[in-house]
Amino acid sequence: MYRVMLVERNRLMLEKLTQVVQGTNGFELVARYQSVSDALGQGTIFNPNLILLDIEEQNSVALIADFLKVYPKASILCMGEKWKAESASHIVQAGARGYIIKPFTGVELQEAVDTFLKLGTEAGCETLVFFSPKGKSGKTTLIANLATALARKTHEQVGIIDADLQFGDMSVFFNLAPKTTIVEAARDVKFLSPVTLHPYFMPVMQNVSVLCGTATPNLIDKVSIRRFESIISMSRSLFRYLLIDVPPGFNPTSIAAAEQSSTTFLVSMINDAYEIDHMKRALEIFQDWEDYQERVKAIFTRVEPCNSQSQQELARKLGYPVTAIIPNEYSIVSDAADNGKMATDIRPDSPLAQSVDRLADEITGRGHRIRWSVS
């Protein structure tokens, strides 16, 4: 049971939200205030464990600090009239658990609690962008199986955004027929918050959800860069790991995603002698980032033999560390896709699954315990 303190300056809004809290199962309104000073000075006797705090036109960072000092065991959800990415980031860094747009319904309140109190916050999200200098790199296969591995290992929420706006095929890979895609999310994003964006993602397995790409290539113009950036910003509040598939080459979409990433993975499939040159040229562009050596990681797919010697040789040719190599196991991937499953699930002992698991361990900070075996 959530013991709720409601702090809202506007009298009419206070009455409206009072009815919502009182009418929602699992929530008990123990105190409500229009005055912040009254809430800080009088509310401790009610022992709330959830504070709904109006931060409109106030110094939110200082306000949150004051409430955390007085109510150290309570979770704080901030309330406002419009989603603002910068403000939301600041309130999370200040110690609030999330941000909800008012007025809200009982369903939205419950979803906000489930999202922010149980799943985590933007401050802890790893945003992983998968970029390739050219097409046919195996990114989709890697992302789908890696998302599964991350969810299985961490039991955290993992999200995938298919931002290859013309030729993304994540929905095909997962055998999905989405009712909403990135097009609808971009259309509505000005009126959304993380809680109301969440239903645009389709759950594909436990703890893994996908925001599918456009239904047809001509819809690319429906997703502006500014709205795409807003989608990423909101999604960081929903997931512990956010994996973003972007179109090949340097273009506004891939650049915007990379700029917001925690890590950008450069992915290339080994087919001929040109992949190393393409990766070198891409690395040169990313060198404009001061921290590119920490944020940019190289991955090669369809590597045979897939062993430590091959990884070291690729790193030598590239002149840059190679974070992971993925073997060529097309038949396993194809059989899994035909059955609506991941290759890592149907053949967890395969070299492909082992390579993906190593990458998942690297991402989650367990990489220091992983050792390559020579095949």
What is the spatial distance between Cα 45 and Cα 40, in angstroms, rounded to a whole number?
11
DSSP 8-state class, residue 113 = I
Q: Quote the tokens at residue 372.
A: 């390559």
What is the spatial distance between Cα 364 and Cα 166, in angstroms, rounded to a whole number?
31
Nearest C-alpha neighbor of 211 from the set 252, 259, 170, 154: 170
What is the spatial distance between Cα 80 and Cα 95, in angstroms, rounded to a whole number?
16
| Residue 128, pLDDT score | 97
| Residue 196, pLDDT score | 85
pLDDT in tens, the chain (375 residues): 999 999 999 999 999 999 999 999 999 999 999 999 999 999 999 999 999 999 887 778 889 999 999 999 999 999 988 877 666 777 877 888 888 889 999 999 998 888 776 554 444 789 999 999 887 788 888 999 999 999 999 998 999 999 998 887 888 888 888 889 999 999 998 888 888 898 999 999 889 999 999 888 888 888 999 999 999 988 988 899 999 999 998 999 999 999 999 999 999 988 766 889 999 999 999 998 999 999 999 999 989 888 999 999 999 999 999 999 999 875 666 555 555 566 666 667 788 888 999 999 999 986 443 333 333
How many other CB atoms sit within 10 Å of the CB of residue 119? 19
| Residue 136, pLDDT score | 77
Peptide bond into 103 cis (omega under 30): yes
What is the spatial distance between Cα 303 and Cα 306, in angstroms, rounded to a whole number?
5
Nearest C-alpha neighbor of 26 from the set 111, 145, 130: 111
- Strand, coil or helix: 47: coil
What are the chain's domains? 2-121 (3.40.50.2300), 125-369 (3.40.50.300)
Nearest C-alpha neighbor of 76 from the set 156, 7, 157: 7
How many other CB atoms sit within 10 Å of the CB of residue 201? 22
Q: How far is CA 56 from the centre of its chain?
A: 26
What is the spatial distance between Cα 247 and Cα 239, in angstroms, rounded to a whole number?
22
Query: Are 327 and 352 contacting, i.e. CB atoms less than 8 angstroms apart?
Result: yes
State the Cα angle at 86 between 185 and 283, rounded to 5°: 80
Q: Quote the tokens at residue 104.
A: 């809200």
| Residue 82, pLDDT score | 80
What is the spatial distance between Cα 305 and Cα 311, in angstroms, rounded to a whole number?
9
What is the spatial distance between Cα 163 and Cα 161, in angstroms, rounded to a whole number?
6
| Residue 2, pLDDT score | 94
Q: In sequence order, which residues have a C-beta less than 8 Å from that of residue 302 and are 6 or more positions away?
A: 138, 269, 270, 271, 326, 327, 328
| Residue 375, pLDDT score | 36
